[in-house]
Amino acid sequence: MYAGRETEMDEANQDPENGNGLYTLGLACCIGISVCGTYSQQAQPGEIRHNAFLAHLADGPAMERTWKSLESKVDRAKKSGLMGLRIQVCVVDPSTLREDKEMRWSKDMVDGQRRINDVYISKAAGLRDGSLRSGVEVYRHHINDIVDMRITRDRIMLIAKA
């Protein structure tokens, strides 16, 4: 479908410099987080450095493990000199959940989704060494608009209707 490596639900992937990119499909209530950065120094001969990261976090028992996997990959790259992080988070807009064609959402469920969104938007912002949330681009989509996320070979971060 898209060029690059697919990131499945409950998975966090990384792509090396000059890699083909990353993508994930079918974000509805799941949260997508993409991160791209640059290195200030040239890579050493034979050195493989990652500068693009994508996670597909599904609400459930693997959500925090998936987050920790993404965080670990980004932190490892930062220790190798990755900087200038650009972060994009894709979440469902909780105000649209009552319009869901697939299920009925109670007020508690809507509030829970809002809390989960806020937690992971804040965690994503923390990847920027504690920078403010304003450093994160947040895309909120309608519950009935399933979306895909991708990072191109040129490290352009895109979100499009599936």
Q: What is the pTM of this model?
A: 0.95
Q: What is the pLDDT of residue 132?
A: 53
- Give the architecture (CATH level 2) of 5-39+46-161: 2-Layer Sandwich (3.30)
Alpha-carbon span 123 to 57, nearest angstrom: 13
Alpha-carbon span 100 to 92, nearest angstrom: 11
Q: Where are the domains of the chain?
A: 5-39+46-161
Residues of the chain scoring pLDDT < 70: 129-134
Q: What is the pLDDT of residues 141-162, one digit of tens each?
A: 999 999 999 999 999 999 999 9
Q: What is the pLDDT of residues 122-136, one digit of tens each?
A: 999 999 865 555 679
